Chain A
Amino acid sequence: MTALLIRGGRVVDPSQGLDETRDVLIEDGRISQVAPAISAPAGAEVLDAVGLVVAPGFIDPHVHLREPGQEYKETVATGTKAAAAGGFTAVACMPNTRPVNDERSVTELILTQAARAGFARVYPVAAATKGSKGEEMAEIGELVDAGAVAVTDDGLPIAHPELLRRLFLYTRHFGIPVMQHAEDLKLTGDGVMHEGVWSTRLGVPGIPSSAEDVMVARDLILLEDTGGRYHLQHLSSARSLELVRQAKAKNLAVTCEASPHHLLLTDQAVADTEFSTDVKMKPPVRSEADRQALIQGLQDGTIDCIATDHAPHHVDEKDVEFQVAPFGIVGLETAVSLCLDRLVHTGLISLSRLVELMSTNPAKLLGVPGGTLAPGSVADVTLLDLDAPVTVDKTTFHSKGKNTPFHGWTLRGKAVGTILGGRRVVVG
């Protein structure tokens, strides 16, 4: 029997309503006891966590690991190493690989590579439609059997309303959510930043928030008829949030996620950075009013999860004109520090709420082990030092992607380690 005693830390576990100094004993990969002053069993490794926060392992429900097919951007190994370095014990990876994860062999490859790397758990999210072409359903039953935890065509919306209706119905057989990248591409047009004051000032083609909102509204109407679970990815606009709030009030099975960049940046960043392609992502960072609404959504519970939408690109791909650069930024190695510094230390949300957003709720969303330190549960743990000073330095990222708008930011608080199934993860 292997045992690990985490001694003297501040245990923050919203699943048990716990925020107290406790010892945590892990035996054979599972949490066996959470209590004050546990005496170490013979042979147990003891981890001194005095001054640290001990939380259930953080789970990022939205990352792009790029493997198979675009290993020059990221691999399962480098992406999960970045995840571990950033304080995550699990990630859910999107299916827009080459080939698209729309069949068992791709799902299994991802799981094999993840097991081989051993840095974090990987939960594949399979394509909702074959080739993510939005025309016919993928073999969802087989994909779930292979290990997929949800379906999405992320990067592209599921635009066809009748198909989405059937997806809501069909996925009810498996209890998995349909994750939607909500965007009406006809409204996006050639837009590359939020349509508003700054796109107008800079003469940059805009993406109106209605491009997101109309699809969210439509999807929620369909969901009301079909049942099923709907998860709205990277929610960015105040109006979409309001639609989700109303749907939740009607008890629809809807959840949503927001990304650190949407919580911390606005469209003004395009002007402030003189068109840096590291502030180009989809959906775009929006107005200050949208950003404030999202903070409110964190506070009132409308937003369920924080997700990074970690989207690594090669440096050459981003070193081009703003209009033609690919959308997306990396997030795994900055998210925890950004959220601690800008959301928790500022008093906008409590630490317990942050753990809920980054661990408890993502576990529930994906229907996976973790998200709790209750005895008997899997021993995935994230250790935080709330006061460690951090200067974001993209050159030290483990991710192959260096495309971050947060390079050089000075922050307070970071993840100092993860424990995966009772084993301390060494990032090296």
Chain B
Amino acid sequence: MPAGSAPKVHWHHKDLLGIAELTRGEIELILDTAESFAEVAERPIKKVPTLRGKTVVNLFFENSTRTRSSFEIAQKRLSADSLNFSASTSALTKGETLVDTTLNLQAMQPDLIVIRHAYAGAPHFLAKRLKEFCGAKAAGVINAGDGANEHPTQALLDAFTIRQKKGRIEGLKVVIAGDIDHSRVVRSNLHLLTKLGARVTVAGPRTLMPDAMSEAFPGVEVAYSLEDALPDADVVMMLRIQLERQGKLAFPSTREYFRLFGLSNQRLALAKPDAIVMHPGPMNRGVEIASDVADGPDSVILEQVSNGVAVRMAVLYLTSGAHLEAA
């Protein structure tokens, strides 16, 4: 990140719905803010009073262990009060609509709602409806993953990790490989990495690669094998394969998938010698990534998880408006 020259960026978003609507300056502001929160994890008492008195609802309509835990720890480290609301215990099974569920939660006046949903656009829909109903009193909405659309905090923690390891993002070659079609991680990363000047190649089987990929994301290279994608790569990001796609339409078996598209040490050798290996988790060992790569010296997978907490602390801090109250 260029030092000193960047003009001061002011954060004024109440929501974080996606990376698509952020500017480069706003992305860098989140990453810089996350730097200052990272150190909290190193303290003997891992807690700051920044969001004391703020209420955050984690509204998860889809299973998620890591993202929800990460958000929850971030909230606790910031001293926010948090409530977990998951679909399995929600009223949705009783036929209540998403809007009604959310309005009921809103009536309890939370400051932020973190939402994970299986359908693209659900957080955008909710944010819009909340504003229509409650105006300025509406809770801010943070997207924790919506269908195959966006997963902005994942892309931010990925960027944070890349910056930490490589010192920059501009000019790096990043390869993202796997199920491109169904991945929200890839879409948020494509928005983010291209805005920050990386060269991105997406790779995967043709059955998991949308036809319109390069038109939808101008400047992004498309490859159909790791052999074509990996040469010169600084960063290799593997995506989770959803095992239920096996044998149906996308690929014949996990065995064949690993044979053709799995990241082995042999394939990794095609990338730059100092390339780092990333994975948003949860991993399918022996399917998209070999265990010795996942656990090897180039892997930063667990550091991604650690960084996720700092990045989410930054996002909670900025969207809550706490930085404005302090000023």
Interface segment out of the listed B212-220, B239-247, B264-272: B212-220
Q: Does B16 contact A (CB under 8 A)?
A: no
> Taking A274-B124, A319-B99 as contacts, is the C-beta distance between A324 and B119 under 8 angstroms?
yes
For A323, give its contact among B119, B183, B216 (CB under 8 Å): B119
Q: Does B163 contact A (CB under 8 A)?
A: no
Once bound together, how far apart are the Cα atoms of A320 and B121, in whole Å? 11
- Is A202 touching B97 in the complex (CB atoms < 8 A)? no
Once bound together, how far apart are the Cα atoms of A205 and B149, in whole Å? 10
- Is B99 touching A320 in the complex (CB atoms < 8 A)? yes
- Is A319 touching B210 in the complex (CB atoms < 8 A)? no
Contact with B along A184-218 (1 / 0, CB 8 A): 00000000000111111111111000000000000
For A202, give its contact among B98, B149, B183, B211 (CB under 8 Å): B149
Q: Does A168 contact B (CB under 8 A)?
A: no
B121, closest chain A residue (CB): A275
- Is A203 touching B150 in the complex (CB atoms < 8 A)? yes
> Taking A201-B187, A203-B148 as contacts, is the C-beta distance between A322 and B125 under 8 angstroms?
yes
Residues from 114 to 133 in B contacting A, C-beta threshold 8 Å: 117-122, 124-125, 128-129
Chain B nearest Cβ from A208, distance in angstroms: 9
Q: Does A316 contact B (CB under 8 A)?
A: yes
Q: Does B184 contact A (CB under 8 A)?
A: yes
- Is A204 touching B99 in the complex (CB atoms < 8 A)? no
- Chain B residues with Cβ below 8 Å from A198 are 216
A206, closest chain B residue (CB): B210
For A203, give its contact among B147, B211, B212, B215 (CB under 8 Å): B147
Q: Does A321 contact B (CB under 8 A)?
A: yes
- Is B125 touching A197 in the complex (CB atoms < 8 A)? no
A317, closest chain B residue (CB): B97
For B121, give its contact among A195, A196, A200, A202 (CB under 8 Å): A202
- Is B97 touching A319 in the complex (CB atoms < 8 A)? yes
- Chain A residues with Cβ below 8 Å from B217 are 200-201
- Is A321 touching B122 in the complex (CB atoms < 8 A)? yes
Once bound together, how far apart are the Cα atoms of A198 and B121, in whole Å? 13
Once bound together, how far apart are the Cα atoms of A324 and B121, in whole Å? 11
- Chain B residues with Cβ below 8 Å from A203 are 120, 146-150, 182-184, 187
Once bound together, how far apart are the Cα atoms of A68 and B99, in whole Å? 29
- Is B212 touching A320 in the complex (CB atoms < 8 A)? no
For A316, give its contact among B97, B120, B183 (CB under 8 Å): B97
- Chain B residues with Cβ below 8 Å from A197 are 212, 215-216
Contact with A along B134-175 (1 / 0, CB 8 A): 000000000000111110000000000000000000000000
- Chain A residues with Cβ below 8 Å from B128 are 274
Once bound together, how far apart are the Cα atoms of A323 and B147, in whole Å? 10
Q: How many chain A residues touch B (Cβ–Cβ < 8 Å)?
A: 21
Contact with B along A314-337 (1 / 0, CB 8 A): 001001111110000000000000
> Taking A203-B120, A203-B187 as contacts, is the C-beta distance between A321 and B213 under 8 angstroms?
no
Chain A nearest Cβ from B116, distance in angstroms: 13
Chain B nearest Cβ from A286, distance in angstroms: 12
Once bound together, how far apart are the Cα atoms of A197 and B99, in whole Å? 29
Once bound together, how far apart are the Cα atoms of A202 and B146, in whole Å? 10
> Taking A197-B212, A316-B97, A320-B99 as contacts, is the C-beta distance between A204 and B148 under 8 angstroms?
yes
Once bound together, how far apart are the Cα atoms of A312 and B56, in whole Å? 38
Chain A nearest Cβ from B106, distance in angstroms: 15
B186, closest chain A residue (CB): A203
- Chain B residues with Cβ below 8 Å from A319 are 97, 99, 129
Chain B nearest Cβ from A325, distance in angstroms: 10
- Chain A residues with Cβ below 8 Å from B120 are 202-204, 275, 322-323
- Is A275 touching B148 in the complex (CB atoms < 8 A)? no
- Is A275 touching B125 in the complex (CB atoms < 8 A)? yes
- Is B212 touching A274 in the complex (CB atoms < 8 A)? no
B180, closest chain A residue (CB): A200
Chain B nearest Cβ from A391, distance in angstroms: 20
Residues from 178 to 236 in B contacting A, C-beta threshold 8 Å: 182-184, 187, 210-213, 215-217
- Chain A residues with Cβ below 8 Å from B183 are 203
- Is A200 touching B97 in the complex (CB atoms < 8 A)? no
- Is B149 touching A204 in the complex (CB atoms < 8 A)? yes
- Chain A residues with Cβ below 8 Å from B125 are 274-275, 321-322
- Chain A residues with Cβ below 8 Å from B213 are 200
- Is B216 touching A200 in the complex (CB atoms < 8 A)? yes
Once bound together, how far apart are the Cα atoms of A198 and B124, in whole Å? 16
- Chain B residues with Cβ below 8 Å from A316 are 97
Contact with A along B272-283 (1 / 0, CB 8 A): 000000000000
Chain B nearest Cβ from A189, distance in angstroms: 9
Interface centre among A195, A275, A320 (most CB of B within 10 A): A275
A198, closest chain B residue (CB): B216
Chain A nearest Cβ from B46, distance in angstroms: 35
- Is A322 touching B119 in the complex (CB atoms < 8 A)? yes
- Chain A residues with Cβ below 8 Å from B97 are 316, 319-320
Once bound together, how far apart are the Cα atoms of A46 and B97, in whole Å? 54
- Chain B residues with Cβ below 8 Å from A320 are 97-99
Once bound together, how far apart are the Cα atoms of A201 and B150, in whole Å? 10
B148, closest chain A residue (CB): A203
- Is A321 touching B119 in the complex (CB atoms < 8 A)? yes
- Chain A residues with Cβ below 8 Å from B148 are 203-205
- Is B210 touching A200 in the complex (CB atoms < 8 A)? yes
B21, closest chain A residue (CB): A274
- Chain A residues with Cβ below 8 Å from B212 are 195-197, 199-200
B151, closest chain A residue (CB): A203
Once bound together, how far apart are the Cα atoms of A275 and B128, in whole Å? 10
Once bound together, how far apart are the Cα atoms of A197 and B129, in whole Å? 27
Give A contacts to B, CB under 8 Å: 195-206, 274-275, 316, 319-324
Between A and B, 21 residue pairs with Cβ closer than 8 Å are A195-B211, A196-B212, A199-B210, A199-B212, A200-B215, A201-B216, A202-B121, A203-B146, A203-B147, A203-B149, A203-B183, A204-B148, A204-B149, A205-B148, A274-B125, A319-B99, A321-B121, A322-B121, A322-B122, A323-B121, A323-B147
Can you add 9 more A-B contacts, CB < 8 Å, to A196-B212, A199-B212, A321-B98?
A: A197-B215, A197-B216, A200-B215, A203-B184, A274-B124, A275-B124, A320-B98, A322-B119, A322-B125
The list of the 8 closest CB pairs from A to B, nearest first, reads A275-B121, A203-B148, A203-B149, A200-B216, A323-B119, A200-B210, A201-B216, A200-B212
